[in-house]
C-alpha cells in the first residue's frame, strides 16, 4: 500500500505536447489518457489530455492534464499538488483536513474512471488533488 506526493501540471490545451517534451527530456514511460477515452460528451475535449503520467527510471513522477472548459487557466499558476495511492483511510484523512476551510472544487467521491477523487484549494491558496485508486 502506498501514498504518492507529486506535482500535477495544468495546461490550456497543450498537455500532450508538453508531456511529450518532458518525456524527451526525462525519459521513462509516458501514459496519456484523453477525455474521450472516459466518455466525455464534449467533442472539443475528446482529444485533450484528461490525465498524463510520466514515470522515469530514476523514480520521478510527473502528472499533467488539460483543464476542462469550466476551469479557468491562469498562466503562472499552473501546478497543483497530487496525493494518490491505495491507502484509502489515510488519503480520506488527508482530504478531510486539507478541505476543512478550503474551496472544494470537486467533492471527494467516485469518478467516471473508477477512483475516488477530490480537488480543493486550501486556506493558503494551494490547490490539492486527492485520488484514491481502486485496489486490485
Structural domain for 28, as ranges:
3-132
- For residue 35, the model assigns a pLDDT of 92
Burial class from Cβ neighbours inside 10 Å (0-12, 13-18, 19+) for residue 75 reads: exposed
The CATH number of whichever domain residue 27 belongs to comes to 3.10.180.10
Domain count within the chain: 1
- For residue 32, the model assigns a pLDDT of 98
- For residue 88, the model assigns a pLDDT of 94
Q: Which residues of the chain fall short of a pLDDT of 70?
A: 135-136
Does the model's pTM come out above 0.85? no
- For residue 136, the model assigns a pLDDT of 54
Amino acid at each position: 500500500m502506498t501514498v504518492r506526493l507529486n506535482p500535477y501540471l495544468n495546461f490550456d490545451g497543450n498537455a500532450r505536447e508538453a508531456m511529450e517534451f518532458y518525456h524527451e527530456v526525462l525519459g521513462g514511460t509516458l501514459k496519456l489518457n484523453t477525455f474521450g477515452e472516459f466518455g466525455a460528451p464534449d467533442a472539443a475535449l475528446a482529444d485533450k489530455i484528461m490525465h498524463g503520467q510520466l514515470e522515469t527510471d530514476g523514480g520521478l513522477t510527473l502528472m499533467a492534464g488539460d483543464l476542462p472548459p469550466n476551469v479557468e487557466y491562469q498562466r503562472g499558476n499552473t501546478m497543483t499538488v497530487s496525493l494518490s495511492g491505495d491507502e484509502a483511510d489515510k488519503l480520506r484523512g488527508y482530504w478531510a483536513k486539507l478541505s476543512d476551510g478550503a474551496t472544494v472544487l470537486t467533492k471527494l467521491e467516485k469518478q467516471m474512471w473508477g477512483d475516488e477523487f477530490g480537488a480543493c484549494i486550501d486556506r493558503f491558496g494551494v490547490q490539492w488533488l486527492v485520488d484514491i485508486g481502486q485496489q486490485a
